[in-house]
Structure 1
Amino acid sequence: MSQQTENQGMNLPNPAEMAKTYAEVAQRASRLITQFMEKKAKDGVNAPADELGVAKAFMDLSSRLLANPYKMAQTQMNMMWDYFSLWQNTSMKMMGMPGSHPVAAPKKGDNRFKDEEWEEHFMFDFVKQSYLITARHLHDTVAGTEGLDEATQQKVNFFTRQYIDALSPSNFAMTNPEVFRETVKSNGQNLIKGLNNLLHDVESGDGQLRIRMTDTSAFEMGKNVATTPGKVVFQNELFQLIQYNPSTPEQNKKPFLIVPPWINKYYILDLREKNSMVKWATDQGHTTFIMSWINPDEKLAAKSFENYLLEGSLEAINQVCAHTGENSVNLAGYCLGGTLTMTTLA
């Protein structure tokens, strides 16, 4: 009777709901894989670029490690001893016996393991400490390697930290107690929601992961973003040129050209009427032009900074002069657009 009462008090998942959830997960995962394979087939199989020289840096690291086999063996023995101590402590914890101090503990302020289950539940505690032991020895091995030049040492240290952080058990649903609890509580609907978000991000990125940073459905061109009336007067491979007529009876003779950054849309300078540089400029009597950069894809892979200067900012200046009949322009650049503007003027 007590066992029945205990089970009734537990929030056990509904088997039928869980089966339905897993079927939906499998279906959506299949769609993701299909999209990925179609993208690869379309683009062709190319060796990944290594402009940062990461592969060479780790090859240098490997050769240095192999040059000192005694140190490698000592490191492995120390790690095996830590694993043995952890297994011993975990076994005692499983039997209800008090264990010794943790073999590995997260640093103060490490919010990845702030949930109480990481400490109280023997399984999650074992997973956590196993990860921390491996992370510590891997980091110490790389950081303590002798014979690497400073640049290579910094490079392997940096990418090793990224690798270690990526493999944290807090990043995986079945080894994160918070996610695990929510999965049981919602019969897996949290996983479906997350997978739907992933699917949407991949679809919006045409087969590549494009993580949404905001709710794009909350914005509508012409209503609450890019509200100043304008028209496209020129376009090439790199940009569109948009013209805005002045809103005043009198207008300045010299046109005004704005060069925005590559990482923002042009309407970063034309949001709403109250916070729009474009609207302000037209209200001052300026015939205003702004460049709208094309989102680059594989077709623009061969384009360089020089192309963006010659076919971008310089071409925009020529087009503004052609459309207004003037020989010069007032020019403003924002962020990286400012860098391009200064280079153009030089």
Structure 2
Amino acid sequence: MLLKIWMLIFVFLLGVSADINVKKEYNKEEYNRLCKVLKAAVGAWEEVRAKGNEDALKKALERTIFGTDEGRNLGELKNCVPKDYNDVVSKLQARFLWCGDWHQEGETPELKPSRWAGHSAPHDLVCLCTVGNNSWPLDETSTAITLCGEEKSALKAKKNEGWGTIIRPSGSAKEKEKIDATWDRVAKPCLEGDGRKGATLKDALNIFMEKLVPTPGNNHTNRYRLGENSSDGYPCSGNGQVCVMYYNDTKTTGHKYSMPWWTDLADALKTEEKKEEQKKYEEEKRKKNGKNQEKSKHQEQPQNNDEPLTAALKSANPDKQEGEKDNTQNISAPLATIEEASGTLLIPPCSWLLGAFLLI
């Protein structure tokens, strides 16, 4: 009995040890899904822009890519990290305000970041994939080997450095350096369009949204998380957690948009789908009406089949008809020939003389 107990303890400890030593790839699946949406959005935006369309879909795509529907330069976005992130050092250092906070009316300017959770897909990649305080989760205390598929050297993860919510002397944690590395290695490749559009964008968005974790709390029932996070009052702060917290009921002061970019994109795709269905319906209706008009036109034409047939017969037997005409004209010709040959007048007997003969 004692031996069995020791065996169970050994197996338990072995399992715990194995679990501790498991190397983890943080936020890899979340990153892949978000990146695919951004790639598809870039491809769709380039197509819509080439057509000159100015509709809800174009605006939603621009907000997904740039964070605004006013249109920006995609080449510039690929080559340069947006200047908004300079505020991380000069104005608002706390990562929680950029990636996890709920912004509402009445906030002081000091608490309003240039970008917020759900501002755009590239910004959400920055929140999801930049190393946190002390370069977590790529520090010595974590079993993680990659963050968003990148190793610590690529993301410039170093001890006592990183982007968190612990206030330090400005620039001492080199937050901007970590953000720049994330933009270059993670966000920039996702800004390359994949040449796909339409249904692919819709599918990519649906797959991305399946990864959103409902996270009600702090008086917010309509809240969703993307990425790793521990349970505390400061979600996605970078202190032991790297993620994005979305609020579908936020009202951001000083910004035109409050809802996450993916809500606008989902609505625009639904509208576009309805437009395509209506267009297809109108096209099928037009074709059907054209066929009905053609059928009605044929039915209204007079159907006189005898006249063509008679004309055909007449034209086919002209000699026969001419012969019948000649025979009618020459019925008395044989009688005249007999009279001429005998010299005797052939007169048919009278009917009264024949009757008298019969009475005798």
Q: Same fold (TM over 0.5)?
A: no
TM-score (structure 1 length as normaliser): 0.18
Taking structure 2 as the reference length, what is the TM-score of the superposition? 0.18
